[in-house]
Structure 1
Amino acid sequence: MKNYLLLFAVIIFSTVFSMAQNLTEPPVSDFDVYQKDIPHGSIDTVQYFSSTVGTERTTLVYTPPGYSTSEKYPVLYLLHGIGGDEFEWLNGGHPEVIFDNLYAAKKMKPMIVVMPNGRAMKDDRATGNIMARDKVEAFATFENDLLTDLIPFIEKNYPAIKDREQRAIAGLSMGGGQSLNFGFGNLDVFASVGGFSSAPNTKQPKELVPDPELTKKKLKLIFISCGDKDGLIGFSKRTHDYLDETNIAHYYYIIPGGQHDFVVWKASLYNFVQLLFK
């Protein structure tokens, strides 16, 4: 616990931020600790048909405390890494605990959070050689599954607000690269994008942002984070550098001592969701 406290205490002082964005507070010491005596959201395991893959696929859907089908909610699509699946965030980071605690503290806007399998292929398990060509390519194929199949399913079956400004996408590692690629690449679909420790699948900055002025106009929130001991930090930095060069406002969190792990990703998620849908 002392190591967690030390890490989070220095985040606010060592964070690099760009374009005069306001910083949120570092996570409190028990931000990821389950609290019994507060309202809790629900997580459902849901099946949807993917025309992209040609089979039924699984996604997890978190709904907030007090969820009601008579209300409308913004939606965050939260993606996993190359070695995970739709259960990686749940098993490794327990985002539902972070969300419930933030709701209890009145620091998060009610939203639906969708945690899909970002490996769009019939055998989408994280087994065997996870670096095999077909499995890596399936992460790119997921863009079509997301846009063509998953988002329409969510918006048909949940009281989701069908507006780009009320959709966000974020992820860790491979999912961070997907989020940047899909978010920047579909400005008519998403208005908020988060990449946590984004992996080498992240497109080159000029490919991500071919039209800086349009990106400035369309994206309300861009959030990039990484641990400073993460060997993949260069992919986050090059994106940050280009956004700075083109004067595009964004958050850039570098966590001192941070590795490629859930310590960084949970702290990133904690900060990111507090900025969403404002």
Structure 2
Amino acid sequence: MQEFDNIIELTDFEGCAGKINVSIFKTGARSWVPYFVYLPPNWSPNETYPLVLFLHGQGGDEGTFNKYVQAEQLNEWITNGDIEPLVIAGIRGDNDRDNVQWFAEENESLLVKEQGGEFIQFCQNSFHAGDHGKQISIEGHSRGAAGAIHYYLKYPGLFSSIVGMGYVSDYTLEDNFFLGRKNLEALKRESTWLKLEIGTEDSFVRNKNRRACFEMHQFLKENSIEHSFEILHGVEHGFDTYWNYYSDEEMLNGLAHLKFHERSRKRNCR
């Protein structure tokens, strides 16, 4: 654990309500894994909460979300009734931040119940989040979007909803198309809510002709798999530009995402 000496292992979360905290937990798949968690105001171990998983991009880690999203912003949305209380959490995808692959076997064993789901179980036990029906959603950015789409296609219906921001990982397309064809009927039957977003100023698209988001949209459309695809004017590749984008309805995109996940959960509860 020497590598993580600057990260404190939290065991008591009662003082963490309304904050974004960074900590570490022990796993069988990857030994010690750093993570972040946002707990809503008035969080209580006697209540249960929906869970949104955040998958960071290449070069990111457990601090990426907190770098661009303020707990006070989330607290205000919950206090004002814009969204229901929820828990947002995510792990560091790899200690080598340039080689992070969310679809690696070790990460699947942390994030997928069928593979053990060590981080999911940790969130359920520690934060009382994501343990009732389809109460788990995924937000992914860049390589995190590639991971989110991988989980959407490989495990139809496992997650309540998926948002993929800045999916430019063209090297994942062949495998994702294979998973989509293999699970086509299940994907149609489960109809998990999926939202894909790409910015008009994304440097990977403009300068390197990365087409993953567009090709995935076309694949889903041709195979009649329900999803939404949005091109965001002026948005660059960074996660912050996606989160802080204002829609035509003058709503911050981060809030729109959380509302999207909430609508999907409520639909699943009908």
Q: TM-score range by the shorter chain?
A: 0.7 to 0.9
The amino acid that maps onto 2:66 is L
Partner Cα distance (2:225, 2:87) in 1: 28
Gaps of 5+ in 2: 1-16, 246-252
**1:1-278 mapped onto 2 (5 Å cutoff):** 41-53=18-30, 55-91=31-67, 93-119=68-94, 124=95, 126=97, 130=98, 135-136=99-100, 140=104, 141-147=106-112, 148=116, 149-187=118-156, 189-200=158-169, 202-204=172-174, 205-210=176-181, 211-230=183-202, 231-232=204-205, 234-261=211-238, 262-267=240-245, 268-276=253-261, 277-278=265-266
Distance in 2 (alpha carbons) for counterparts of 1:109 and 1:247: 32
Contact 2:168 2:211 in 1 (8 A): no
Contact 2:52 2:139 in 1 (8 A): yes
For residues 196-242 of structure 1, the C-alpha deviation after alignment (integer angstroms, 9 at most, x for no partner) is: 00131544452242233311322431011110221246211111112
| 2:49/2:87 contact within 8 Å kept | yes
Question: Displacement, 1:114?
Answer: 0.6
The letter of the residue matching 1:260 is H
Query: Structure 1 residues 199, 164: CA separation in 2 closer, same or farther (over 3 Å shift)?
Result: farther
Structure 1 residue 112: deviation in Å? 0.8
Shift of residue 246 of structure 1? 2.0
State the match for 1:10 in structure 2. Answer: none
Aligned to 1:165, what secondary structure does the other structure show?
Answer: coil
- Structure 2: distance between partners of 1:82 and 1:259: 15
TM value normalised by structure 1: 0.73
* Distance in 2 between residues matched to 1:97 and 1:228, nearest whole Å: 29
In 2, the alpha carbon distance for the partners of 1:97 and 1:175 equals: 24
Residue type of the partner of 2:258? V
Deviates more, 1:228-237 or 1:252-261: 228-237
Whichever residue aligns with residue 163 of structure 2, its letter is G
Residues 71-121 of structure 1, C-alpha deviations (whole Å, 9 max, x = no match): 111111101110110101111x115344223224422122111121112xx
User: What does the per-residue CA deviation read over 1:136-190, in whole Å, with 9 as the maximum and x for residues that have no partner?
Assistant: 4576242223233211111122212424511111111111111111232223531
Cα distance change on mapping 1:188 and 1:251 into 2, 3 Å: closer
> What is the rounded CA distance, in whole Å, between the counterparts of 2:27 and 2:168 in structure 1?
25
Q: Deviations along 1:56-79, whole A, 9 cap, x unmatched?
A: 111111111221221111111101
Q: Is the 8 A contact 1:164 1:190 kept in 2?
A: no
**What is the alpha-carbon root mean square deviation over aligned residues?**
2.3
> Closer, same or farther in 2 for the Cα pair 1:208/1:156, shift >3 Å?
same
Which amino acid in 2 is paired with 1:183? Answer: Y
**What letter matches 1:49 in structure 2?**
K
User: 1 or 2 for the larger relative contact order (CA 8 Å, sep ≥6)?
Assistant: 1
* Contact 2:22–2:62, Cα closer than 8 Å, also in 1: no
Q: How many residues align?
A: 226
TM-score norm. by structure 2 comes to 0.75
